[in-house]
């Protein structure tokens, strides 16, 4: 299979490229090597340095391709609203250019890197009102340290649970909105061309090769960078935010499975470990692994963050036969370079 891999010089992309090549596929990488992602020199023998918005470069790269794996994106929550046009341009417009050129070149399979952020807040239940969607977070509540979202109907406490792919989509920052726009554009492309798209909603990805010292990095990368400087990881809010931390090699195997699977024409898949952990748990695991100072819970917050978001990965298990191999302890050991014992995919709880 001939694969064009956008963003293939990035954190997730390098792992996807390695796995695709190991499985015998012919891979070409297209990456702009943007400076807010790549702080070091990148050398790949199959690399085309170009932006996904460059229609001519994309058209040439797509010649003879069987499947496009689209990972290229501006990531993270953003620093401020000055990033808004860059998210829309890099992510939404970039995806649109790719889809247009795929139609022209008769490429009919797409794996699109989406994100858990398209959901906004995760799944919540109220004892009286059942499944509800909490409203926007209020600055007054956050300033007072009231981080848990209340029921929008009665104001009582909510019980968080696992979100599945049919949940309400509620992007709450520029990055999230751009990722969801990409999903919608890809769905329209698939229906108009007869193509097939799998939107992979990655949860919190960590592992070897995470970016360093950038405000656009994920929380695991920020904690790791602090520990390598000899500093304590700074944990926002109270550290009890629920997340699903998934190892980058498991993400790569999910992407590879989607690239070759006979999935529905328009499909969306959560890609998570299936294990609920907190941001405080992650900080503590990393501190112990690095032998560094204990995490510091700061009480700070970012308005664009969500309180709880954890995945049900039942659909990808059922439809693609995918299973994660790394739990958090094994994944952290792999991240810091400690020997690990390879395990078969571990069973996940039912959604």
- Do 155 and 19 fall into the same domain? no
pLDDT of 41 above 80: no
- Do 136 and 176 fall into the same domain? no
Picking from 270, 268, 275, 279, the residue whose alpha carbon sits closest to that of residue 307 is 279
CA atoms of 252 and 327, how far apart (whole Å): 15
Instruction: Kindly indicate the confidence band of residue 131, based on its pLDDT and cuts at 50, 70 and 90.
Output: very high
Whether 344 is covered by a domain: the verdict is: no
Residue span of the structural domain in which 80 resides: 2-123+161-336
The pTM of the whole model exceeds 0.75:
yes
How many domains does the chain contain in total? 2
- Do 289 and 305 fall into the same domain? yes
The two beta strands, 196-202 and 109-115, are: parallel
What pLDDT score was predicted for residue 285? 94
pLDDT tens per residue, range 228-252: 999 999 999 999 999 999 999 999 9
Domain holding 319: CATH number?
A: 3.40.50.720
Whether 346 is covered by a domain: the verdict is: no
Average pLDDT over residues 101-113: 98
SS3 content of the chain, % helix, strand, coil (to 5): 35, 20, 45
Domain end point (choices 160, 180, 209): 160
- For residue 198, give Cα distances in angstroms to 111, 195, 258: 5, 10, 7
Mean pLDDT score of the chain:
91
- Do 59 and 73 fall into the same domain? yes
Whether 342 is covered by a domain: the verdict is: no
Whether 53 is covered by a domain: the verdict is: yes
As a whole number of Å, the CA-based R_g of the chain is 20
- For residue 168, give Cα distances in angstroms to 108, 122, 270: 28, 9, 14
Average pLDDT over residues 59-79: 90
3-state secondary structure of 318: helix
Whether 276 is covered by a domain: the verdict is: yes
Picking from 34, 25, 106, the residue whose alpha carbon sits closest to that of residue 71 is 34
Containing 110, the helix (H) or strand (E) segment is strand 109-115
Whether 349 is covered by a domain: the verdict is: no
Residue 195 burial (10 A CB sphere; 0-12, 13-18, 19+): buried
- Do 257 and 270 fall into the same domain? yes
The two tokens of residue 170 are 């509620």
- Do 132 and 181 fall into the same domain? no
- Do 151 and 217 fall into the same domain? no
Query: Which string of DSSP letters, residue by residue, matches 138-177?
Result: -HHHHHTT--SPPPTTT---EEEEEE-TTSPP---SHHHH
pLDDT tens per residue, range 138-183: 999 999 999 999 999 999 999 999 999 999 999 988 999 999 999 9
CA atoms of 114 and 4, how far apart (whole Å): 17
- Do 316 and 253 fall into the same domain? yes
- Do 197 and 140 fall into the same domain? no
- Do 96 and 128 fall into the same domain? no
pLDDT tens per residue, range 177-224: 999 999 999 999 999 999 999 999 999 999 998 887 665 568 898 999
Average pLDDT over residues 125-142: 93
The beta strands (E) that lie in 155-295 are given as 158-163, 196-202, 204-206, 234-235, 242-243, 245-247, 266-271, 277-278
**Is the distance from CB of 161 to CB of 124 less than 8 angstroms?**
yes
Share of the chain above pLDDT 70, in %: 92
- Do 154 and 183 fall into the same domain? no
Neighbouring residues of 109: CB distance < 8 A, sequence distance ≥ 6: 66, 67, 68, 195, 196, 197, 259
- Do 206 and 280 fall into the same domain? yes
Neighbouring residues of 178: CB distance < 8 A, sequence distance ≥ 6: 73, 74, 87, 88, 90, 91, 92
CA atoms of 112 and 200, how far apart (whole Å): 6
């Amino acid at each position: 299979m001939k694969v064009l891999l956008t963003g293939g010089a990035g954190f997730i992309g390098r792992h996807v490229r390695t796995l695709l090549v190991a499985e015998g596929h012919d891979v070409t990488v297209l990456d702009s090597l943007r400076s807010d992602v790549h702080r070091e020199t990148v050398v790949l023998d199959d690399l085309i340095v170009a932006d996904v918005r460059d229609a001519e470069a994309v058209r040439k790269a797509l010649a003879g391709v069987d499947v496009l794996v689209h990972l290229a994106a501006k990531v993270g929550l953003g620093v401020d609203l000055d990033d808004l046009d860059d998210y829309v341009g890099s992510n939404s417009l970039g995806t649109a250019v790719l889809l247009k050129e795929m139609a022209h070149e008769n490429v009919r399979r797409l794996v699109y890197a989406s994100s858990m952020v398209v959901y906004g807040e995760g799944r919540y239940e109220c004892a009286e009102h059942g499944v509800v969607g909490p409203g926007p977070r209020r600055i007054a509540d956050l300033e007072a340290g009231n981080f848990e979202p209340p029921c929008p109907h009665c104001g009582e406490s909510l019980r968080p649970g696992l979100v599945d792919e049919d949940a309400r989509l509620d992007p709450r920052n520029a990055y999230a909105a751009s990722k969801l726009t990409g999903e919608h554009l890809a769905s329209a492309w698939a229906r108009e061309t007869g193509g097939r798209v799998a939107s992979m909603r990655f949860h919190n990805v960590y592992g070897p090769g995470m970016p360093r010292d950038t405000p656009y990095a994920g929380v695991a990368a920020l904690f790791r960078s602090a520990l390598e400087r000899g500093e304590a990881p700074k944990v926002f809010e109270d550290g009890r935010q629920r997340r699903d931390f998934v190892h980058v090699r498991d993400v790569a195997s999910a992407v590879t499975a989607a690239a070759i699977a006979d999935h529905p024409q328009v499909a969306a898949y959560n890609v998570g470990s299936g294990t609920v952990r907190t941001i405080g748990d992650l900080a503590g695991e990393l501190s112990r692994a690095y032998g560094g100072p204990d995490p510091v819970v700061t009480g700070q917050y970012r308005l664009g963050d969500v309180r709880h978001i954890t995945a049900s990965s039942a659909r990808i298990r059922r439809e693609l036969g995918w299973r994660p191999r790394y739990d958090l302890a094994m994944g952290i050991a792999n991240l810091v370079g400690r020997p690990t014992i390879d395990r078969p995919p571990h069973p996940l709880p039912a959604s």
